[in-house]
Structure 1
Amino acid sequence: MADHYEVLGVSREATPDEIKKAYRRLARELHPDVNPGEEASERFKLVTHAYDVLSDAEQRRRYDMGGSDSPFGGGGGAGFGGFGDIFETFFGAGGGQRAGRPRSRAERGQDALVRVTLDLKDVVFGVHRDLEVDTAVLCETCEGSCCQPGTSPVTCDICHGSGQVQRTVRSLLGNVVTNQPCNVCQGYGTTIPYPCGTCQGQGRVRARRTVSLDIPAGVETGLRLQLPGSGEVGPAGGPNGDLYLEVTVTSHDRFSRDGDDLLATLEVSMPDAILGTRTTIESLDGPVELEVRPGVQAGDVLTIKGRGITPLRGSQRGDLRVGVQVVTPTRLDGRERALVEDLAKKMKAPAPHLSEFHQGLFSKLRDRFRNG
């Protein structure tokens, strides 16, 4: 078998670029569409096979070490590559590329994930955010064409725009003609002789851009919102991918969330618990009046309608549910103690005794929040 380096007319130390240039020169000269002679056809097959071997770093290494460059592998084993190699030999490579149709340079961009941290108040009403995103954007110099301004892609003179070339290989069935992606244009059907200097022929560049978002009310930690078409622009100006927004809600020092309701704790003095009172509390959307009825008990829940969270899918806000905690004084002066003792005598309160079992005050309060 002829030496591949001699077939291409290059030295054994030739660089990949030198090998590619030699192949392109010979392919133009020997291609059957240009030179239909039988001798030129045979040489074209030799040139193409030599380039296939020497343009692949691993195949070239094996060839330089004296290994086999058969289409089925070799290398001292059974003489066959994997099933993928056999199918490629019989039916042609191309990664799903249909025969006779060139690949498109424009591809869909990747999806992007952005994490945003919200306060509980943002969850109640929704919030607008302008986020800085590091992503791929359309190259303004070439506008996605990948070419220097004033130039354009050129039809490949090897495959004539089809993106594929025919190749005859030896197989178990004899000589088989297959379609292979053109090695010169990489299957695109065109080449770019003057790539854009800004994006290096990619049609896109990395940049920071601002994404304006209206985050709806009712979101919660771990939720992902999808913004179609707001991700990275694709190669060669291809369509944008999607942007996913992952939400984290920080804890609040006075309020917690239970579904669409807000939970809070109200400390009530013993006299106010006995006599009842009216007070103003500061909710997440401003002050609201709250009535504490006489005789309120620790663990009772007072409900303020419509002061909770707007649901993600709906408009009816949840409630603000306030659990009562009666504060027992721990320090009394002599006069105060005397008054309490006098009250206890007049009320004739029963002595402390066991009652229905509960899992502690906090469990009781939790259960009332859930079931009240």
Structure 2
Amino acid sequence: MTNEIAPKGTSNLSRRSFLRTGAMAGGIAAGGSLAAPAVLAQSPMVIKMQTSWPASDIWMGFAKEYVDRVEAMSGGRLKIDLLPAGAVVAAFQVLDAVNDGLIDAAHSVPVYWYGKNKAASLFGTGPVFGGSATTMLSWFYAGGGKEFYDELTQQVMGMDVEGLLGFPMPAQPLGWFKNEVNTAADLQGLKYRTVGLAADLMQSLGMSVAQLPGGEIVPAMERGVIDAFEFNNPSSDMRFGAQDVAKNYYLSSYHQASESFEFLFNKSFMEDLDPDLQAILRHGVEAASTSNTATAMDNYSADLQKLQDEMGVTVHRTSKDILDAELNAWDTLIPTLEEDPFMKKVLDSQRAWVERVTFYELMNSPDYALAYEHYFPGKLKL
């Protein structure tokens, strides 16, 4: 399949036409011969999916894990043409492209739609009340989050899209700094890259914030546009060349501690598929979520060690002083967010979920750090 873009408004129509004629052909075959299904089997439905990631990012591999599972489960009836950021549109433009039918699907994160509506940032990069990304992904599917997200994207924003979340990301590092930052005062005046509500949060700590897609971060650092940044994880950061422009890497932060990937589909296109193919696309997110978690744990940990041992990076834990300052900044920011009625009801729902679920999680979890220190003494340097 080529990457040529059909005129706006024609993509969904042509695909719906294909589905209708395919269904008619299947009906003729059922009443007549067995030849037509064999022909149809050679012509899978091709889904054009673009990510928000450069081709070199490990997250393209994560998206490929979804592609592989969907194609295998569909028995060849679905094929996904997976494209990196920029192949059709820029990284932050895939929502519009899916809505307009320029692409059928996207692999991204809701925080990238912050510029359209700040509430999008609540679905993974909002205030941290104590729940992890796993806690908040559970809220999305079992606590009403999916219904809120449909309301936001389809009713408030008026988009013809459906978003599903998968892969609860480890908490994002505070990021990369040329010099050590040991207190909140050390952050003041720094030009820093982050996205979404984290930009509002870090600005309130005295930083000057630029919201940039991943592929632009290191060039911006080299040009002096920014002098500190975060993206997401050791593997992506290393592939960007973060270690070439800064040597102090700070893990743990409350600015983006509960994010998941978004698997975004054109809603009309999805609804025109046969029910079993819709189910494969939806449940494939769950399968990829498990696979992505395993891949992340393997690669993130190995690449963190490589950054330390081979690339001269000093890995730090973010100080309690900075973490406390982040929580206090959230306390100041939340009331302003709650002036919006939609954001207020989402935040109320999240707080109620975290209060109940995280109580169980924390009460039930043993102190894993204690066990780790028992078997690997002196490594944590807490």
TM-score band by shorter chain is under 0.3
| Higher gyration radius (CA) | 1
**Bigger proportion of residues as helix:** 2
